[in-house]
Amino acid sequence: MSAIERGYGDDIYEYTNDLYCRNWLHEAWLPLDEHIVQFWTPRIKALDDRYEAATVDDDGQALDQFHRLPGPDLWWWRRDPRILTGDLGCSLRSAGAIGTHSLTVSPTGLRDNA
């Protein structure tokens, strides 16, 4: 989650792999006993809230250019990072994602292009 908040540095394939980890959690949730669900729900909700704050909803239009989107109940596939940087940022921008600002690498390090 923190990588998305500060600017995801990997490529589109690593990003979709990370989204599949959230899919797994969604699928594994169903057979868990009530005690585990009650314990973990606030923690997962807090991470989901952070993800939602660090991303922009585009209904998956940019990501769908690279990867077939799963069902509509998997909302995290329909959001792009707000900070578009690195290979992922280039790929998503080429597919129409706008984020809210981007970071580029300059010879002296990262520069905010907001």
3 state DSSP class of 71: coil
The whole model's pTM is what? Answer: 0.82
DSSP H or E run through 46: helix 34-53
Tell me the per-residue pLDDT of 38-90, one tens digit each, with 9 for 90 and over: 999 999 999 999 999 999 999 999 999 999 999 889 999 999 999 999 999 99
pLDDT, residue 60, reads 94
| Cα→Cα distances 83→45, 90, 92, 96, Å | 21, 11, 11, 14
Name the percent of the chain lying above pLDDT 70. Answer: 88
**Rounded Cα distance, 59 and 79, in Å:** 7
Residue 110 has pLDDT above 90, yes or no: no
